[in-house]
């Protein structure tokens, strides 16, 4: 676990979203932790993949080198890694060759054209933000959701944070792929009111091809979580050509019915939509999925609804299309 200069435990946070309503019941504060041990090709949050702070570049916000130029002036490198176009607008940072990751350019930028992804935060700092909206949680049955990236890569810190939430009577939810040793997951889940996790594919090799990891440990841990007694909101991000076929969907339905008992309060089929393109560009990263999964929105949403209806009818599981459905808590 990381610590700051004062010896306090810290974790890298990429974003804090207030008043969210889709990742758990009620009104919530959602905290996104940095670092992920999977590489799903449809991921819309590339800023959470690396476990280190990163710089994102947003040319549309740049004031121009002649008018401002503070980023270049703050860089300690003799051969600055900051690249400008012919009009003096920032276009990229050469991370591979020159950038040492000091982050001074982002700290100097007055317009937000260079953004730091990943801020080290302590438990007290996060609790102050969480408790600002405690009244909303109490009225709506909401609370805090820890997400990522993969929050369980910061399990020790998450455990400390959830303990403080419990002391303050704040509802707790953790969103995780569960692709970690069970002992790490268990320590966090004992402080969790609701687990959000997903089954991306039932075939291990197909899963590995599209996510960079097999599914064996994930499925074992989902079963253990069900046996552990935690309520589960289960999801599948349905991606055209990857996991939308009837064979895979029926295998998933059978697994939920036969292996998870009554732990799953809802099974949500989330229609893939290409999001996060600006963030990929800002990080000088290519979007791995490209255009291979483009389907007209209406057609795709109709198919998701049909799959949810089939799973409910054939397997008796609480399947739903999308994440906007009321949770039966």
Q: What is the pLDDT of residues 161-178, one digit of tens each?
A: 999 999 999 999 999 999
Say whether both 104 and 232 belong to one domain.
no
Say whether both 154 and 112 belong to one domain.
no
Say whether both 151 and 82 belong to one domain.
no
Cβ-contact 4, 119 below 8 angstroms: no
Mean pLDDT of the chain: 94
Q: Is 328 part of any domain? A: no
Instruction: Select from 116, 133, 161 the last residue of a domain.
Output: 116
Say whether both 261 and 278 belong to one domain.
yes
Q: Is 329 part of any domain? A: no
- Cα separation, 131 vs 120, whole angstroms: 19
Residues sharing a CB contact under 8 Å with residue 167, sequence separation 6 or more, in sequence order: none
Lowest mean pLDDT among 18-27, 151-160, 288-297: 288-297
Question: Where residue 108 sits, what CATH number does that domain have?
Answer: 3.30.70.20
Prior bond of 14 cis (ω within 30°) = no
Name the token pair of 89. 């607008």
Instruction: Select from 116, 148, 166 the last residue of a domain.
Output: 116
Name the token pair of 113. 């054209």
Say whether both 13 and 46 belong to one domain.
yes
- List the domain range (segments joined by +) for residue 62: 54-116
Say whether both 287 and 258 belong to one domain.
yes
Residue 324 has pLDDT above 80, yes or no: no
Residue among 175, 90, 59, 74 at smallest CA distance from 82: 90
Q: Is 160 part of any domain? A: yes
Residue among 142, 161, 211 at smallest CA distance from 11: 161
Q: What is the pLDDT of residue 177?
A: 98
Residue among 119, 6, 1 at smallest CA distance from 54: 119
Q: What is the pLDDT of residue 1?
A: 87
Q: What is the pLDDT of residues 31-56, one digit of tens each?
A: 999 999 999 999 999 999 999 999 99
Question: Where residue 286 sits, what CATH number does that domain have?
Answer: 3.20.20.70
Domain count, the chain: 2
Name the token pair of 165. 């939430």
Dmax (CA) for the chain in angstroms is: 66
> In the 3-class helix/strand/coil scheme, how is the chain assigned residue by residue?
CEECCCCCEEEEEEEEEEEECCCCCCCEEEEEECCCCCCCCCCCCHHHCCCCCEEEECHHHCCCCCCCCHHHHHCCCCCCCEEECCCCCEEEECCCCCCCCCCHHHHHCCCCCEEEECEEEEHHHHHHHHHCCHHHHHHHCCEEEEECCCHHHHHHHHHHHHHHHHHCCCEEEEECCCCCCHHHHHHHHCCCCEEEEECCCCCHHHHHHHHCCCCHHHHHHHHHHHHHCCEEEEEEEECCCCCCCHHHHHHHHHHHHHHCCCCEEEEEEEECCCCCHHHHHHCCCCCCCCCCCCCCHHHHHHHHHHHHHHHHHHHCCCEEECCCCCCCC
Q: Is 189 part of any domain? A: yes
Say whether both 171 and 68 belong to one domain.
no
- Cα separation, 266 vs 248, whole angstroms: 18
Say whether both 156 and 292 belong to one domain.
yes
* Reported pTM: 0.94
Confidence of residue 97 (pLDDT cuts 50, 70, 90): low
- Cα separation, 230 vs 189, whole angstroms: 7
- Cα separation, 28 vs 183, whole angstroms: 27
Residue among 237, 308, 189 at smallest CA distance from 45: 237
**Strands 231-238 and 264-271, how do they pair?**
parallel
Instruction: Select from 116, 132, 149 the last residue of a domain.
Output: 116
Q: What is the pLDDT of residues 201-239, one digit of tens each?
A: 999 999 999 999 999 999 999 999 999 999 999 999 999
């Amino acid at each position: 676990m990381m610590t700051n200069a004062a010896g306090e435990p810290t974790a890298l946070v990429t974003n804090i979203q207030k008043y969210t309503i889709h990742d758990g019941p009620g009104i919530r504060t959602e905290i996104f932790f940095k670092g992920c041990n999977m590489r799903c090709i449809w991921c819309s949050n590339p800023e959470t993949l690396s476990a280190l702070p990163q710089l994102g570049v947003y040319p549309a916000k740049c004031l121009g080198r002649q008018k401002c130029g503070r980023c270049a002036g703050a860089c300690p490198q003799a051969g600055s890694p900051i690249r400008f176009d012919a009009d003096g607008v920032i276009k990229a940072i050469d991370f591979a060759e020159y950038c040492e990751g000091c982050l001074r350019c982002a700290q100097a930028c007055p317009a937000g054209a260079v953004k730091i992804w990943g801020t080290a935060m302590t438990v007290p700092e996060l609790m102050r933000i969480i408790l600002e909206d405690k009244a909303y949680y109490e009225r709506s049955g909401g609370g805090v959701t820890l997400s990522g990236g993969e929050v369980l890569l910061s399990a020790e810190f998450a455990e400390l944070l959830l303990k403080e939430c419990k002391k303050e009577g704040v509802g707790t939810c953790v969103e995780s792929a569960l692709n970690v040793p069970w002992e790490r997951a268990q320590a966090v889940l004992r402080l969790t009111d609701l687990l959000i996790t997903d089954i991306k594919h039932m075939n291990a090799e197909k899963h590995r091809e599209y996510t960079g990891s097999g599914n064996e440990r994930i499925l074992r841990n989902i079963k253990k979580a069900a046996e552990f007694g935690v309520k589960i909101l289960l999801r599948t991000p349905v991606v055209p050509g990857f996991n939308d076929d009837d064979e895979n969907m029926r295998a998933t339905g059978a697994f939920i019915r036969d292996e998870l008992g009554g732990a799953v309060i809802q099974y949500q089929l989330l229609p893939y939509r290409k999001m996060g393109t600006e963030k990929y560009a800002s990080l000088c990263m290519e979007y791995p999925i490209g255009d291979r999964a483009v389907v007209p929105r209406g057609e795709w949403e109709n198919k998701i609804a049909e799959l949810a209806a089939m799973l409910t009818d054939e397997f008796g599981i609480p399947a739903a299309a999308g994440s906007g459905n009321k949770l039966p808590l």
